Structure 1
Amino acid sequence: MKLKTLKMLVKLIEKGSFSAVADKLNLTQPAVSMQIKALEDRFNTDLVLRQEKEIKLTPAGKVVYRQSKKILNAWEEAKVEVEQVKGETFDQLIIGASTIPSEYLLPDLLAKFYKRFPQVEVLIKVGDSAEVINTLKDREVDLIIVGSKPNRNQFEVVSVIEDRLVLILPPEHKLGDASQVSLADLVEERVLIREEGSGTRKAMLAGLKKAGINKNEFNIGIQLGSTEAVISAVEAGLGVSFVSELAANKAVTNGRVVRVKVSDMLISRKLYLAYHQERKNETLIKEFRNIF
């Protein structure tokens, strides 16, 4: 019995069609059908029922499907254990992250990671993007997630998610009910901004420049060291700001701030995963990358 045949059965039930499995595994549909037929011949019974466009398991099929998943999971665990025996250490993974990924992205990622590696201790080092990139350069961390693209030849860099910067205002702000505003509407406002080295700051200033606006045209009154500090300052009425949409969503839902569209400025940026190229085949780094 081949593992790939068991995997085909599992994929067939999850995808619901032979054609979808064929596309996923880069095979022809007849080839997938032949593998499932061979599996049925092995057990001398039908495993799946083909009813019009629907695929259903027979009672025997349910048993084979359930046990196939166990076998495939056990095989993945065996590969991990073999890597451990070969000398890789799985005691600890150190992740560097800028503030947006650390607060609004990493919690969900780590929940998925711990399902695969509950024994691994994960340490998070947080700083602005420039600081975090330096920790990777100095090998103080195993991998990083940042809002500024690391430009170093020794790094493997992967774009993992796209984020936008959005305008947030205090709840009672005079522009809060507008369907959209322009940059000209914000000239008289105190604009709050992140500190030097922040990926959010870099993206905001790049967006203004692209729109033909010099930062000196705005009243940039306060620099703050984290996105949560910016949101709290906006909530308190100290000014307006552009922040990550990932960060703004919860604050808007809770009524702490309001979000208003800016007609003449769209700031989109990516978040990046990076690690040293020579470590790209290490199991923990590969597994963490595969979460995305």
Structure 2
Amino acid sequence: MEMAQLEYFSKVVQEKSFSKAADRVYRTQPAVSIAIRRLEEEIGLPLLDRTQKTPILTEAGQVVYDYAQRILALRDEVGQAIVELQSLKRGRVRVGANESTSLYLLPELILSFREQHPEVKVEIYRHVSNRLPREVLDRNVDFALMASEPADRDLEAFPVLKDELILILSPKHPLASRPSVKIKDLGKESFIAHNVPSGSRLKVVEAFARQHVPLNINLELATIETIKRFVQKRVGLAFVPRMCVRDELERGVLVTVPVRGLTHNRVLWAAHRRAASFSPAAAAFLKVLRNHTESARES
């Protein structure tokens, strides 16, 4: 059973004439008649009563006609849906990210994307960093934003943002007015850390160890937002990515002091499957990511 057969059959029923139906579908009348004959042979029952001047539906013909209308309507809906996808009137993009990227980088990217494509749905999936490459490879997300370049050769990645790890403290803390501090100045301080291990935390641990200074992590919390709040309350100090505290630093509710001997610049990467076939929506989001990269380089 072919789509063309159903279309020719439907047109004959609607036009009540083989010749008029042929004109509507831009075929000859014999071609339309042959197509309908083959459809009847495939079904095993006559669909039209041809004994009258005007073709009349048989009982089987009525059943086939009803289904043909639904099938042809679905075909038209598919075509319209594809047009909408291509014109970005619909579609979705799935992005995986860790906590800090979800909260402090993605909002800016999504706003930029939605200004251009407001009808495309963006879905954000939060995962720990070491899980993100697998999420991309398993096709659970179109892109992942991660704090290190993925090692898997089946992934392609490019840098999106350069950031640095900084020491944050309450403006009321005794060290807040210092132009800088040494690691040894922090040996008696209490620190707050994220309870998910990360490469940044390892860098801090190594820096303190090289100076033979104890790193007193007395409290581990689940989110950076909570860490920032506890630092404001002078519960302790913390090392966090600068992008996570831009707003607090501007408002003066937190301050940062450079730590001599501890510098950790990090790069955030966008990754996708190598040679992936992107949907129109995903391709548009990729363009936004690359534009953001270019803007970051120029600033």
Q: TM-score range by the shorter chain?
A: 0.5 to 0.7
- SS of the aligned residue for 1:279 comes to coil
Deviations 1:75-101 (A, max 9, x none): xxxxxx879469x99521111111222
Question: SS where residue 281 of structure 2 aligns?
Answer: helix
Q: Partner residue of 1:137?
A: 137
Tell me which amino acid in the other structure corresponds to 1:229. T
Given that 2:160 and 2:268 are in contact with CA atoms closer than 8 Å, whether structure 1 keeps it comes out as: yes
Q: Does 1:244 align with 2:262?
A: no
- The 2-side partners of 1:95 and 1:180 are apart by 38
How far does residue 119 in structure 1 lie from its aligned partner after superposition? 1.5
CA distance in 1, matches of 2:134, 2:103: 20
Alpha-carbon shift at residue 226 of structure 1 (Å): 2.0
Instruction: Give me the TM-score of the superposition, normalised by structure 2.
Output: 0.62
Q: Distance between the aligned counterparts of 1:173 and 1:279, measured in 2?
A: 50
Kindly indicate whether the alpha-carbon contact (under 8 Å) linking 1:170 and 1:258 is maintained by their aligned counterparts in 2: yes
Query: Can you list the C-alpha shifts for 1:25-78, whole angstroms capped at 9, x where unaligned?
Result: xxxxxxxxxxxxxxxxxxxxxxxxxxxxxxxxxxxxxxxxxxxxxxxxxxxxxx
What is the RMSD of the two structures over their aligned residues, measured on CA atoms?
A: 2.7
- Could you list the runs of 5+ residues in structure 1 that have no partner in the other structure? 1-80
Pairing partner for 1:231 from 220, 224, 228: 228
Q: How does 1:107-118 map to 2 (within 5 A)?
A: 107-118=107-118
CA distance in 2 between partners of 1:268 and 1:112 (Å): 26
For 1:239-278, list aligned pairs within 5 A.
239-278=236-275
* Aligned AA (1:184): K
Question: Aligned pair in 2 of structure 1 residues 217, 137: CA closer, same or farther (>3 Å)?
Answer: farther
What residue ranges of structure 2 are gaps of 5+ in the alignment? Answer: 1-81, 293-299
Q: Which amino acid aligns with 2:96?
A: G
Q: TM-score, normalised by structure 1?
A: 0.64
- In 2, distance between residues paired with 1:126 and 1:247? 16
Q: Which moved more, 1:224-233 or 1:126-135?
A: 126-135
Structure 1 residue 184: Cα displacement: 0.7
Contact residue 165 and residue 204 of structure 1 kept, 8 A: no
Partner SS for 1:94: strand
Q: Structure 1 vs Structure 2: percent identity of aligned residues?
A: 25
In terms of Rg, which structure is larger?
A: 2
The Cα of 1:281 is off from its aligned counterpart by: 4.8
Change (3 A) 1:184 1:216: closer
Once the two structures are TM-superposed, the CA of residue 215 in structure 1 deviates from its matched residue by 9.2
- Are the equivalent residues in 2 in contact too, given 1:166–1:244 (CA < 8 A)? yes
Is 1:91 matched with 2:91? Answer: yes
Aligned to 1:147: 147
Counterpart residue identity of residue 237, structure 1 = R
Q: Distance in 1 between matches of 2:149 and 2:222?
A: 20
In the aligned structure 1, how far is the partner of 2:212 from the partner of 2:121? 43
AA partner of residue 256 (structure 1): V
- Partner SS, residue 217 of structure 1: coil
- Give 3-state SS (helix, strand or coil) of 1:238's partner: coil
> Quick one: distance in 1 between partners of 2:265 and 2:151?
19
State the partner residue of 2:182. 182
* CA distance in structure 1 between the aligned counterparts of 2:273 and 2:148, rounded to whole angstroms: 16
Match of 2:167 in 1: 167
Q: Which AA in structure 1 matches 2:251?
A: N
Q: Distance in 2 between matches of 1:134 and 1:230?
A: 28
Is the contact made by 2:97 and 2:146 (CA closer than 8 Å) also made in structure 1?
yes
Q: Among residues 283, 286, 290, which one is paired with 1:289 in the alignment? A: 286
The more displaced of 217-226 and 169-178 is: 217-226
Rounded Cα–Cα distance in structure 2 between residues aligned with 1:105 and 1:161: 9
Structure 2 residue identity aligned to 1:154:
D
Query: Structure 1 counterpart of 2:247, which letter?
Result: K
Match of 1:222 in 2: 219
The 3 A distance-change label for structure 1 pair 196 and 186 is same
Residues in 1 aligned to 2:226 and 2:136: alpha-carbon distance in whole angstroms:
26
